[in-house]
Amino acid sequence: MTVHWFVDNVLRWIFLSLLLLDAYYLIFNKGIPNIRTAPAIRKRIIELLKIEVAKYNGSEPFTIVDMGSGNGLFTREIARAFPEARVIGLEISKTALAWSRRFKKLHKLNNIDYIDQDFYSYNLNHANAVVMYLTIFQMESMGKKLHEELKPGTLVTSNRFPLGDGWVPEQVIPVRTLYPHQKILNVYHQK
């Protein structure tokens, strides 16, 4: 195998694939990557949600919001785990929303609502739990929004990146996953 062969047969295709992926994010997702939360982290979040749901005694259904629900896989798992709860997926990507809605219908998960909206303009004052896996650049503004809008006691989980605006995680849970960069779950409650 020569360097020339390697560049021509391997590097060229890797480069082209990355370019296509970038073009996809740019055209369909405002440049924001749509990567899902690793299975082990999703499982850990559902365990945390179980504790919250068990102690909840409100009259409205327990409401869980996924900030940027992507293709909806995680919202579907949450909806299955908590059939009495209301699950809301906020998403700006039209393609991701179309997938999510199709699968919601296919799996007859009537306790999920997907909302085609920038999550910064969505008021979270009715949420009992908020889950997210966002970019580092969004964590400061998200921290500020959550401080302003969440009811005391609301659970917040953030995969990988900690919230900004002075939030201090009450737990930083290490989780073993095969996904690169997904090893840590930050857990908070609004004071």
Ligand X SMILES: C[S@@+](CC[C@H](N)C(=O)[O-])C[C@H]1O[C@@H](n2cnc3c(N)ncnc32)[C@H](O)[C@@H]1O
Q: Which amino acid is at 71?
A: N
Indicate whether 175 belongs to the interface with ligand X (CB under 6 A).
Answer: no
- Quick one: which of 99, 114, 119, 161 contacts ligand X (CB under 6 A)? 119
Site size toward ligand X (CB under 6 A) is 21
| 37 contributes a contact to ligand X by CB under 6 A | yes
Bridge partner residues of 184 (DSSP): 174
Among 53, 62, 63, 74, binds ligand X (CB under 6 A): 74
- C-alpha to C-alpha distance for 90 and 67, rounded to whole angstroms: 5
Residue 64 found at the interface with ligand X (CB under 6 A): no
x-or-dash pattern for ligand X, window 129-168, by CB under 6 A? ----xx----------------------------------
Which residues, other chains included, contact 172 with Cβ-Cβ below 8 Å and sequence gap of 6+? 162, 184, 185, 186, 187
Pairing of strands 129-132, 63-67: parallel
Query: Residue 67 pairs with which residues in a beta bridge?
Result: 90, 132
The minimum distance between CB 41 and ligand X, in angstroms, equals: 8
Q: Given the complex with ligand X, which of 62 and 133 has the nearer CB atom?
A: 133
- Minimum distance from residue 138 beta carbon to ligand X (Å): 7
Minimal distance in Å, beta carbon 117 to ligand X?
7
DSSP code per residue over 65-122: EEES-TTSHHHHHHHHH-TTSEEEEEE--HHHHHHHHHHHHHTT-TTEEEEES-GGGS
Which residues of this protein are in contact with ligand X, per CB under 6 A? 29, 32, 34-37, 66, 68-70, 74, 90-93, 96, 118-120, 133-134
